[in-house]
Amino acid sequence: MTLIPLGIPRRLLEFTIDGEPVRAPEGSTILDACRSVGKDVPTLCQGDTLAPKNACRVCVVEVEGSRTLVPACSRKAEADMQVLTDSERARHSRKIVLELLASSVDLSTTPEVAGWLKEYEAKPDRFGPDAARLNEEPKVDNDLYVRDYDKCILCYKCVDACGDQWQNTFAISVVGRGFDARIAVEHDAPLTDSACVYCGNCIEVCPTGALSFKSEFDMRAAGTWDEPAQTETTTVCAYCGVGCNLTLHVQDNEIVKVTSPHDNPVTHGNLCIKGRFGYQHVQNRD
């Protein structure tokens, strides 16, 4: 059973989204309100278990009276606000942001983005063949996971998950500045020389596949990764008594990766090294 904390009752704010009257509890973001009325706004850096960072700017919407567009993921709804989620202005910015992203990084493993590129008629090629790209080689320096920063959109989710929002290990940070900014560990060292404890919570929140299980990375390289053929089974981790939920992703009767349900009230999608990576004994059939 999933526990749903009800919290104290909150005042309802009345405002409009695309001309339609909406009521949302005080403290909700514009994105929460949009989703509650069945209107989805695309987001990349927003994470259901993390404080919104509003760095990607894909979710920008137009708010009457605001000089610039505002990020729906982090701007709190206010009474009498008039929000336009799909105005020409918002669509233009969203299209350009998608083009800027898709022209600089590899979004091939980012869920949903192909659909948005089409919906907003984004043409990442129009910046020409010489447009600067990250062009980074994947960093494979340990047996558990791979950092492929060619796919990194600098959403800060891994930094937040490793830092004070969940893991409190603080092994990763954004380094450098501007287009040269990258995610790295201290002194840009290999992961094995860093403070990383291999909980894999950064993989859990990565929206683009820049961080992935070594198993997934190898299978993708070999062309054997077949997501539609995988089954997902949620079970309880057997290593200790906390009771974390594990979702086993199984392909051809082998566990290929382990995630954790984000709505679990104990872990909120976070695990430790054993729960996340210690599954080989299950498939040791000798």
Which residues of this chain interact with other proteins, rule CB under 8 A?
54-58, 60, 68-69, 71, 74, 76, 89, 92-93, 95-97, 100-101, 103-104, 126-128, 130-132, 153-154, 156, 163-164, 168-181, 184-188, 193-195
**Nearest one of 224, 206, 228 to 215, comparing CA atoms:** 224
Query: Burial level of 90, CB count in 10 A (0-12/13-18/19+)?
Result: buried
Residue 259 beta carbon to other proteins: minimum distance, rounded to whole angstroms: 24
Please identify, using beta-carbon distances, which residue of 187 and 285 lies nearer to other proteins.
187
Residue 46 beta carbon to other proteins: minimum distance, rounded to whole angstroms: 13
> Rounded distance, CA 74 to CA 27, Å?
10
Please identify, using beta-carbon distances, which residue of 15 and 225 lies nearer to other proteins.
15
Q: Which two tokens stand for residue 83?
A: 């929000």
Task: Read off the DSSP letter of residue 127.
Answer: G
Residue 239 beta carbon to other proteins: minimum distance, rounded to whole angstroms: 19
Residue 137 beta carbon to other proteins: minimum distance, rounded to whole angstroms: 20
The residues near 213 (Cβ < 8 Å, ≥ 6 apart) are 144, 145, 146, 200, 203, 256, 257, 277
Residue 101 beta carbon to other proteins: minimum distance, rounded to whole angstroms: 6
Tell me the CA distances in angstroms from 41 to 58, 191, 247, one per residue in order: 8, 35, 27
Q: Which ranges of 173-277 would DSSP assign to H, the alpha helix?
A: 201-205, 214-222, 273-277
> Rounded distance, CA 241 to CA 263, Å?
19
Residue 85 beta carbon to other proteins: minimum distance, rounded to whole angstroms: 14
